A and B are shown apart, each in its own frame.
Chain A
């Protein structure tokens, strides 16, 4: 195999993991945009999604499509529940309390999952026929193709939702200025809940796609995935939807390239090094809104 095909292969891998990161990063970014919360529990929503997918397929022998739908619905409901129960009472509190609450929710989900499903990994049955598609010399794994396509469709759908619908308009208005949006008759609480629902639904899709690539569910699988996706969101400019997508792909491809250079132990370090460099050069991320300081 030539160097060229190796690079193409790694790029495909990078696109696959990158689209998962992008889907998860969107959830972080939207929530941050609307209530300025670093939602550390988001990674654990993915973990719950993976367990739902595993349960549907391994326990109830359900069709993968049904499992996907169940995971998405489960994540959406969970996201809204978390928001109502844990974050809504803290609307007026300092932001650090909100952050600690998010950490508490994250601990809670991880430990409940460990209690219910045990600490061991559950292997999720493969549900996609994994014969790669040959394109000349390059073999494209089916899972990679499906991941990228599903992620692409979800992102287009999200864009339409945010840009074209009334609810999307409300979301943008609340993230711009919550007080003014309320004066214009927008129900802030519903809008925030809706944002959590959309973000968690994307996390649900991300969890199933993640299971295609790494078919295992463990109670702590969400923390590192969540952290990387979070880095992706910051890299692209937190609060910005196209930024989250770009950041996700950038992180995924950077990781794949570092691994292909034989430095896979360093890939976490490289991800964070990229983050630091970007933050130092452009503190609000690649596509973030510029910060202004008022005296």
Chain B
């Protein structure tokens, strides 16, 4: 082939993606606010957005860094409470307080990520999983009891923190999804992201190439925590009332399931799995008693028949698809891809 292969310049790719995303937000908002759909669909769409952020953020430390933290809900709780306390205590109008609250939630959760990450990341594998589980549970217990001990009116304990303005909407939740995915994507394409990936592939080799393992592990971990905090802040604005029991061990597991089911290290996989696993229980409401049984069976079956998750490490790229379309190799690569997969198996 002598003809030069067509490649899309980066700026054009970003422009196309931004346009598609804007179309999705505007279109989605128009459909949801037109009243054609029952109102709970809007709530589900918001919840999906929050879950997507949580899953994509956990994917940093699980998929890209290759660790297995089980305390992700703890960071969500920190972000949710930080932003909720900020929004209810300061007299700033909600339109301004909410974006600030998200930033504060993310910052506080990121700080917790550093504080927890430094000791926890000294451990590996299952021990890391267990210690983060421990930290997550401690965060929950502290949120539950801090008022009764210190006499503050801070978290309101088991009664729940009430009166949070319900400021989360479809538009701001999904704008945050877009921002999160964009930031994580650019981070992972930078040299820092490459360093994180190299730690996943082989820690010792990475270290001997001069990568500061502790620094990059803590960086990735706290980044993951910070985005979880942002998801938590949106969750606070979605629920309007926060209770520590919302952020138990099972919440961490729920997020982890999304990441693993989607394929660890695949952002598209996390997004698809978060959407499916949040929407499916809602769609199955008609079979109320059986839906969680079906859910658990699906989980087991997926792991038995496709242990690498739905998408493996494949990541969706609009740029690649456009390039393939223009070059007329869309189906050729699909066939080749299948052939390659069969060889590997």
Contact = CB atoms under 8 A, between A and B. Distances in A.
Interface string A252-295: 00000000000001101100110110011001100000010101
A210 B204 CA distance: 46
Contacts of A223: 249-250
Given A103-B299, A104-B299, A268 B141 contact: yes
How big is chain B's contact interface, by range? 35 or more
A97 B204 contact: no
A269 B137 contact: yes
A108 interface: yes
Contact of B293 (A32, A108, A230, A231): A108
- Determine the main DSSP class of A at the interface with B: helix
A61 interface: no
Q: Which of A93, A272, A295 has the most CB of B within 10 A?
A: A272
Contacts, number: 120
Contacts of B130: 38, 230-231, 234, 275, 279
B307 interface: yes
A90 interface: yes
A100 B296 contact: no
A196 to B, nearest CB: 16
Contacts of B204: 293, 295
Contacts of A234: 127, 130
A101 interface: yes
How big is chain A's contact interface, by range? 35 or more
B20 interface: no
B144 A265 contact: yes
B295 A107 contact: yes
A96 interface: yes
Interface in B233-257: 249-250, 253, 256-257
Interface in A74-119: 86, 89-90, 93-94, 96-101, 103-108, 110-112, 114-115
Interface string B194-210: 00000000001000000
Nearest to A103: B253
A104 B303 contact: yes
Contact of A86 (B137, B295, B300): B300
B257 A100 contact: yes
B127 A279 contact: yes
A186 to B, nearest CB: 25
Given A38-B126, A279-B131, A283-B123, A266 B257 contact: no
Given A38-B126, A104-B296, A112-B293, A276 B303 contact: no
Interface of A: 32, 36, 38, 40, 86, 89-90, 93-94, 96-101, 103-108, 110-112, 114-115, 223, 227, 230-231, 234, 238, 265-266, 268-269, 272-273, 275-276, 279-280, 283-284, 291, 293, 295
Contacts of B162: none
Nearest to A265: B145
B300 A105 contact: yes
B321 interface: no
Interface in B108-141: 119, 122-124, 126-127, 129-131, 133-135, 137-138, 141
Contacts of B250: 223
A276 B300 contact: no
Contact of A97 (B124, B138, B307): B307
A90 B303 contact: yes
Contact of A38 (B129, B145, B256, B304): B129
A100 B260 contact: yes
Q: Which of B249, B250, B303 has the most CB of A within 10 A?
A: B303
B138 A272 contact: yes
Nearest to A234: B130
A222 B5 CA distance: 59
A100 B290 contact: no
Contacts of B293: 108, 111-112, 115
Nearest to A108: B296
A137 to B, nearest CB: 33
Contacts of A265: 141, 144-145, 148
B68 interface: yes
Given A90-B307, A94-B308, A108-B293, 4 more contacts: A103-B299, A104-B296, A104-B297, A265-B148
Contacts of A268: 137, 141
B142 interface: yes
Nearest to B71: A272
Nearest to B158: A265
Contacts of A110: 292
Contacts of A93: 303, 307
A183 to B, nearest CB: 26
Contacts of A112: 293
A170 to B, nearest CB: 24
